[in-house]
Amino acid sequence: MTTTSAPPANPRPKRRPGDRIFAGSAKGAGILILLILAGVAIFLVTESFPALTAPAEDVPGGEGLASYIGPLIFGTLMAATIALLVATPLAVAIALFITYYAPRRIAAGLGYLIDLLAAVPSIVYGFWGIAWFAPRLVPFYQWLEENLGFIPLFAGPASATGRTMLTIGLVLAVMILPIISAISREVFSQVPSLHREAALALGATRWEMIKMAVLPYGKSGIIGGAMLGLGRALGETMAVAIILSGSAAGITWALISSANPQTIAANIALQFPESTGLAVNTLIASGLALFVITLLVNMLARWVVNRRADFSGAN
Amino acid sequence: MAKRIDVSDLDIYYGNFKAVEGVNVSIEPRSITALIGPSGCGKSTFLRSLNRMHEVIPGARVEGKVVIDGQDLYGADIDPVDVRRQIGMVFQRPNPFPTMSIYDNVVAGVRLNSARMKKSDMDDLVERSLKGANLWTEVKDRLNRPGSGLSGGQQQRLCIARAIAVQPEVLLMDEPCSALDPISTLAIEDLMTELKEQFTIVIVTHNMQQAARVSESTGFFNLNGVGQPGRLIEFNPTEKIFSNPDQKATEDYISGRFG
């Protein structure tokens, strides 16, 4: 709104109606998203307030809010971390293959397929996980227990059903794989040919060109895609609820046993229908925890991206 | 270091389209050779075929021979990656890696080529290359800043430093000054004159004064019409091209009576 440079005879620059309508609607949309976010936050805080202040023995489990939500947070983070660790490198590799290695005709089809996978509802992955994937993982878990059982992560006894934390992590990985690779693919294909040719002209092989020009340029895009994937993994409800229903252990590092902590979202889905009173407030408090975790993770990612903003290639 | 380039019967294609036809030319070592001609006449395409950058474009291919130091660049057993390590290239628009610092930009090619290098050797190389590109005094205090923060002329000199850091035998420049102001252009022209002591330089330019100022030999490319392949019409010492060319087409183009 500053008009310092305008001549005194015409203090206000002419404003065209189109500009004003667009600026107004854009501003309105921006305010709306803030209002919605604030509304959600206020709802979560006020509704979880009774649980936050309730005496420990009234909270479900009878040992206070922290020991109720703690394992849930742990389970949520564990499942999401496994998913992200498995999915991100794979997704980046897929995206690189599609953009720089596959013959053009195959690449188009593959890209379409990846986008399609991103649209499959999560319940389908959940069914697939429990009915097909979990049983097939059992021998693998037994092998892990026998050979790597000394590592706490793979401590036995291995689950006989395959419905374990690791299975969840892997199913979530499959679920978030398409979204991460779709976004990475988009970013990789936008690397200016100027930069790619700079690398090639220095005598870079294709892989060296990718290391020099493509991956650094696409880093913020990869992180952005991974965050979207992580958001989906953290909040995923049905797939986790189906696979882990029944088991609700405390904090445990064992990934392949049948005793697993639930995740926040799945726990809410499983418990909510039968909850009343303070139990509902407790569930909402766990939702608040999920909200805060998601916020923190996104801020962390933004910080990582901005840390070297000068080098992002955006200028 | 500097090598002679012999091109014989070179045809260059994009898919089925023949872009350049029948080029025969000998480029002298330790000299600057300028390529001039109207847009779309194939001079950039020809330049890119000299270090096999042409074939980076899908469907692009070449027939004929480009011999450097007795070795055909398009021989069956030649790896294009090796060719590009010997023949550096500077592009029309400055293209330092935006994600790398000035320092890392200079050593980018060296890091590809060689195994481990001592930090002190690397520092020396950066200083030497940046001095060679007349950029050292301007950037020596901010080697860790991104290369994309420099001005256009500085970026282009950074790209030249990056190209000469690997000690190539030939330096190809594709309209290196077309995006630069006259002062930066002068800086780069001075630099080229210094660099030709060590390298064989081939430059594509739209600026005929530039060709006249810096080059020893000049090649004029032209095409007969849209859809026709470009040809090397005349290749002669620069003085002759600009004073008394053999071909009428060359004279017309140089004196502005083109088309």
Q: What is the pLDDT of residues A116-154, one digit of tens each?
A: 887 888 778 778 888 888 888 888 888 888 888 888 888
> In this structure, is residue B148 part of a structural domain?
no
Query: What pLDDT was estimated at residue A9?
Result: 60
Q: What are the tokens at B172?
A: 């190809």
Query: Could you give phi then psi for residue A124, rounded to 5 degrees?
Result: -65, -45
| Number of neighbouring beta carbons within 10 Å of residue A208 | 17
Query: What pLDDT was estimated at residue A300?
Result: 87
A93 pLDDT higher than 60: yes
**Which 3 state secondary structure label does DSSP give B48?**
helix
> In this structure, is residue B132 part of a structural domain?
no
What b/e readout covers A57-81, taking b as 16+ CB neighbours within 10 angstroms?
ebbebeeebeebbbbbbbbbbbbbe
Cβ contact (<8 Å) for A200 and B58? no
Which stretches of chain B sit within 8 Å of chain A by CB?
A: 51, 53, 56, 58, 81-86, 88-89, 91, 93, 95-101, 108-109, 112-113, 145-146, 148-149, 159, 162-163, 166
pLDDT greater at residue A155 or residue A207: A207
Question: Where does A190-277 have alpha helices with state H?
Answer: 193-201, 206-209, 215-235, 238-244, 264-271
CB within 8 A of A38, min separation 6: which ones?
A: none
Residues 97-116 of A with CB under 8 A from B: 104
Residue of A nearest to B104 (CA): A212
CB within 8 A of A207, min separation 6: which ones?
A: none
> In this structure, is residue B118 part of a structural domain?
no
Which of A192, A202, A217 has the CB atom closest to B84's CB atom?
A202
For the stretch B25-51, pLDDT in tens is 999 899 999 999 988 888 999 999 999
Q: Pairing mode, if any, of strands B17-27 and B5-14?
A: antiparallel
Most confident of A44-58, A198-212, A298-312: A198-212
> In this structure, is residue B176 part of a structural domain?
yes
Name the percent of chain A lying above pLDDT 90: 27
CB within 8 A of B230, min separation 6: which ones?
A: B19, B20, B21, B37, B40, B41, B42, B43, B45, B46, B221, B222, B223
How far does the CA of residue A52 sit from the closest CA of chain B (Å)? 47
Torsion B81-B82-B84-B88 (CA) sign: positive
Torsion A271-A274-A279-A284 (CA) sign: positive
Contact criterion met (CB below 8 Å) for A264 and A70 = no
Query: What pLDDT was estimated at residue A162?
Result: 80
What is the C-alpha separation between A174 and A171, in angstroms, rounded? 5
Give the least confident one: A230-234, A248-252, B139-143.
A248-252
What share of residues in chain B are helix, strand, coil (percent, to 5)? 40, 25, 35
Split at pLDDT 50, 70, 90, the class of A30 is very high
For the stretch A192-216, pLDDT in tens is 989 999 999 998 999 999 999 999 8
Query: What pLDDT was estimated at residue B9?
Result: 92
Query: What pLDDT was estimated at residue A248?
Result: 63
**What ipTM does the predicted assembly reach?**
0.89
Rounded to the nearest integer, the mean pLDDT of chain B is 89
Contact criterion met (CB below 8 Å) for B177 and B157 = no
B interface test, pick of A220, A310, A311 with most B CB neighbours within 10 Å: A311
Q: Residues in chain B, how many?
A: 259
> In this structure, is residue B147 part of a structural domain?
no
What is the C-alpha separation between A274 and B147, in angstroms, rounded? 61
Which chain B residues touch A200 with a CB distance below 8 Å?
53, 56, 84
Which chain A residues touch B91 with a CB distance below 8 Å?
194, 197-198, 201
For the stretch A95-108, pLDDT in tens is 999 999 988 889 88
A1 pLDDT higher than 50: no
CB within 8 A of A194, min separation 6: which ones?
A: B91, B93, B95
- Please give the average per-residue pLDDT across B245-259, as a whole number: 83
CB within 8 A of A235, min separation 6: which ones?
A: A265, A290, A294
Residues 213-252 of A with CB under 8 A from B: 213, 216-217, 219
Cβ contact (<8 Å) for A212 and B96? no
A239 pLDDT higher than 50: yes
> In this structure, is residue B77 part of a structural domain?
yes
A4 pLDDT higher than 70: no
Split at pLDDT 50, 70, 90, the class of A272 is confident
Query: A119 and chain B: CB distance < 8 Å anywhere?
Result: no
> In this structure, is residue B180 part of a structural domain?
yes
The domain total for chain B is 1
Contact criterion met (CB below 8 Å) for A268 and A237 = yes
What is the C-alpha separation between A310 and B150, in angstroms, rounded? 12
Give the least confident one: A19-33, A243-257, B78-92, B113-127.
A243-257
Rounded to the nearest integer, the mean pLDDT of chain A is 85
Give the least confident one: A36-40, A125-129, A167-171, B124-128.
A125-129
pLDDT greater at residue A198 or residue B257: A198
- Please give the average per-residue pLDDT across B61-69, as a whole number: 90
> In this structure, is residue B90 part of a structural domain?
yes
Which chain B residues touch A192 with a CB distance below 8 Å?
95
What is the extent of the structural domain holding B243?
5-95+169-254
Residue of A nearest to B48 (CA): A201
**Domains of chain A: residue spans and CATH:** 64-311 (1.10.3720.10)
Preceding peptide of B168 cis, ω within 30°: no
Query: What pLDDT was estimated at residue B258?
Result: 59
Which chain A residues touch B167 with a CB distance below 8 Å?
none
Split at pLDDT 50, 70, 90, the class of A247 is low
Query: What pLDDT was estimated at residue A6?
Result: 47
Which chain A residues touch B79 with a CB distance below 8 Å?
none
Contact criterion met (CB below 8 Å) for B216 and B33 = yes
Element (H, E) at B23: strand B17-27
Q: Any bridge partners for residue B18, and if so which?
A: B13
Q: What are the tokens at B235?
A: 């290749």
Which chain A residues touch B56 with a CB distance below 8 Å?
197, 200
Q: In what order do the strands lie in the sheet with B87-90?
A: B71-72, B60-68, B5-14, B17-27, B230-237, B217-223, B32-36, B200-204, B170-174, B87-90
A interface test, pick of B100, B112, B142 with most A CB neighbours within 10 Å: B112
How far does the CA of residue B67 sit from the closest CA of chain A (Å)? 18
B259 pLDDT higher than 70: no
Query: What pLDDT was estimated at residue B116?
Result: 73
- Using N-to-C axis directions, what is the helix angle for A278-307 and A215-235, rounded to 10°? 180
- Please give the average per-residue pLDDT across B190-210, as a whole number: 90
Q: Looking at residue B35, which CATH number applies to its domain? A: 3.40.50.300
Torsion B166-B170-B171-B173 (CA) sign: negative
Q: What are the tokens at A160?
A: 């006989």
Query: What pLDDT was estimated at residue B172?
Result: 94
Q: What are the tokens at B125?
A: 């190389």
Q: Pairing mode, if any, of strands B32-36 and B217-223?
A: parallel
Cβ contact (<8 Å) for A104 and B58? yes
Indicate the pTM of the whole model: 0.82
Give the least confident one: A142-156, A291-305, B199-213, B234-248.
A142-156
How far does the CA of residue B24 sit from the closest CA of chain A (Å)? 24
